[in-house]
Amino acid sequence: VFDNVYRDVNIALANELALICEKFGVDIMQVRELGNTGPRTRLLIPGAGVGGSCLNKDPVMLAFLARQRGVRASLLEAARERNLSMPQHVIDLAKSAYSEMKKEIKGSKVAVLGLAFKDETDDLRNSVAQPIVAGLQALGARVVVHDPYVRPEVAQDTFKGAQVAKKLSEALKGADCVVIVTDHSHYRG
């Protein structure tokens, strides 16, 4: 439980620093790289949120148990709140990109890459790709999804209304916007 709480808090820190850097027009990846040159700093890579079966529940469970004994676990609660907000932030970034392109998101093709909750796996439990795809669809986007680890029939069952691309090139062809949700090595570079 403590291991998952530690990861959730550190992911939230990375995400919060990314949001701050975004507002200052600073590249979080460069800041992270510089920060990680320090002997005691190991900033994680920020992302679209936290999925899986344990990282979402363990901090909530521990905060609940702490509250029952008179301790408010405000850091754990704030980390959960930050990580839960990230899928909507990704959707907002896509909306902002469309605004900058002076293009309507409604009817346009958005490629969502990486459906699993973590890299190099096919595990869709509580994947943040789910609310991101649903949010983009709610805006009227034609969403095409791709994940090299998730079987197409499983993706089709999970991501209703989205087109499932078997090849990365198929997902990208004609896309106005690309959202990389899962950090699969397949997408790096």
From 54, 66, 84, 93, the catalytic residue: 54
**Is residue 21 flagged as an active site residue?**
no
Query: What is the C-alpha to C-alpha distance for residues 56 and 45, in angstroms, rounded to an integer?
Result: 18
In what order do the strands lie in the sheet containing 142-146? 163-164, 142-146, 109-113, 177-180
CA distances from residue 132 to 67, 68, 156, 171 in whole angstroms, order as listed: 32, 34, 15, 16
Query: What is the C-alpha to C-alpha distance for residues 22 and 187, in angstroms, rounded to an integer?
Result: 22
CA distances from residue 16 to 49, 54, 94, 117 in whole angstroms, order as listed: 11, 21, 18, 19
The closest of 131, 133, 156 to 143, measured between CA atoms, is 133
Helical ranges in 25-73 per DSSP H: 28-35, 58-68
Active site residues: 54
